[in-house]
Every structure is written in C-alpha cells, then in structure tokens.
Amino acid sequence: MEQTGTNQCLVFVGRMENHVADRLEEYAKQNDMKVVETIFKDDRAIDKLTYYIEREGIICILVRSIWDISTDRETVKSIMKLAAEHNVSINEENRGFEPATLVWDGGAGC
C-alpha cells in the first residue's frame, strides 16, 4: 500500500456478491481511484475495514448500501464515526455514491 491514500479506496460488499463488487470496482476505475482491496462480508470484515481506516491509506469506502457493512446499527455508527475521524468517506451506490449518513440524535430513540 502506498504511503498516502490520495486516490485509494476500498470496496465492501456482502457475502458472495461478486456482481456488486465488479460494479463498484468499475465505478472506482472510472473515477481514477485505485481499489486497495475488495472486502467480502465475513467474520473478519469489520476488522479489515477498521485496519484500513486507521492506517489512513484510503480516502473512501464504496458500498452498495451502508447496511452491507452490518445490520447492527451500533456497529455501523462506530464504523462511520471512525471513518469520519480519519477523513474517510463511506459512499453508497444506492445514493448515487454520495457519502452515507445515519440520523442519530444521541438519544435512546434513534
């Protein structure tokens, strides 16, 4: 991996979603980004995601949906917070590759 993540990204997809991975990788290529790794959701996927975010070797994570990372809201919030702390955006294909957002007011309701 290069020292800076100026144009490097990760692709994160669900289990066995090769067609989604291909589509996201093609989007990255068309936008002059180098895909460092394509991570398929498995038992170690969150650890791999955290590793890349903390090393600041990427500028974004491309996902079909933020919920591909996890169906657990707290896990998604913690990954999004970590990514924001390291200036890494998580971009959703379902939103036209705009940065993912998660509405949360800090209360028990949402």
In a domain, 110, yes or no: no
What pLDDT is recorded for position 102? 65
The string of pLDDT tens digits covering residues 35-91 is 999 999 999 999 999 999 999 789 999 999 999 999 999 999 999 999 999 999 999
In a domain, 2, yes or no: no
What pLDDT is recorded for position 60? 95
CB 75 within 8 A of CB 81: no
This prediction's pTM = 0.84
In a domain, 17, yes or no: yes
In a domain, 49, yes or no: yes
What pLDDT is recorded for position 110? 45
Across the chain, the runs of DSSP E, i.e. the strands, are 8-13, 34-40, 60-63, 89-92, 98-99
Question: Does residue 104 surpass a pLDDT of 80?
Answer: no
CATH number at residue 38: 3.40.50.1390
What pLDDT is recorded for position 99? 83
Range of the domain at 84: 8-99
Number of folded domains that form the chain: 1
In a domain, 83, yes or no: yes
